[in-house]
A = this chain, B = another copy of it.
C-alpha cells in the first residue's frame, strides 16, 4: 500500500462480565511470541484482505479466538507508539465488550477470568488499556443503559440495579432507581416472572439498545 514503513495495526478487547456481583475480565494466555505464556487481552492483527473495518476485525477475533458473538461492543481508545509492541511501531484500537456471563466460555487453561480489582501482570500495555476501558464504563454507567448489557435478554429490576451498583461502585437508592428507569422508559415488561425469589419478580427487557441519556441514575442509598 504505502511506499514507506507503516505501523502494525491491531485490535484488543476488554471483555467484561458480571459474576457474583463482581466485574470480571476475560484474559487469555498467549501461545506465541512476543510475551508467549503471559496473560493478555484477546486481540490480533487487522487483516486488510479480510476485514471491512477495525470493528469488523475485532468481531472476527472475538468470534474466532473467544467464541463470542453478537455482544455489546464499543471502541474505546487507540493506543500507539514505537515500544508498546516489541515487533515494532504499533497501533492498537482498544474495544470494550460487555457480555452476560452465560455468553462466555468456562475458564480453562487458556481462558481466565479475573476480578478487575485484582489483576495479574499483563503483556504489552494492556494494563493501561484496561484502565481506559474501565474509566469509560464507569463514566458512562450513570447515564446510560450500558450496565444492562451484562444481563441476559430478560432481567428483574433488582438484577438491573445490582449491575449498576457494581459498575458504579456504590449503592443506589431503590425507589429512585425504579422511578427513573420507568420514567425514562428504559425497560418494558415481558409479562413473565422470575420465580426463583421469595416473591416472584417481574421480568423486563431493554426497551432500546444500550444508549446514553442525561439524567443520572441516583447515588447513595
Chain A residues at the B interface, C-beta cutoff of 8 Å? 1-2, 4-9, 45-49, 52-55, 75, 77-78, 80-82, 87-89, 91, 93, 139, 142, 212, 214, 216
Contacts and interface: CB of A to CB of B under 8 A. Distances in A.
A216 B142 CA distance: 13
A52 B82 contact: yes
Which A-B residue pairs are the 8 nearest by beta carbons? A48-B89, A1-B88, A54-B80, A78-B78, A53-B81, A53-B80, A7-B9, A78-B93
Contacts of A47: 4
16 contacts: A2-B45, A4-B45, A4-B47, A6-B48, A9-B9, A9-B91, A46-B80, A46-B91, A48-B82, A52-B81, A52-B82, A55-B80, A78-B93, A80-B93, A91-B91, A91-B93
Contacts of A45: 2, 4, 6
Nearest to A48: B89
Main secondary structure of the interface of A (DSSP, over half): loop
A152 B75 CA distance: 33
Stoichiometry, copies per complex: 2
B48 A7 contact: yes
A81 to B, nearest CB: 5
A2 B90 CA distance: 10
A115 B82 CA distance: 38
Given A5-B49, A142-B214, A214-B216, 5 more contacts: A2-B87, A4-B47, A54-B80, A55-B80, A75-B77
Contacts of A91: 9, 46, 54, 91, 93
Contacts of A48: 5-7, 82, 88-89
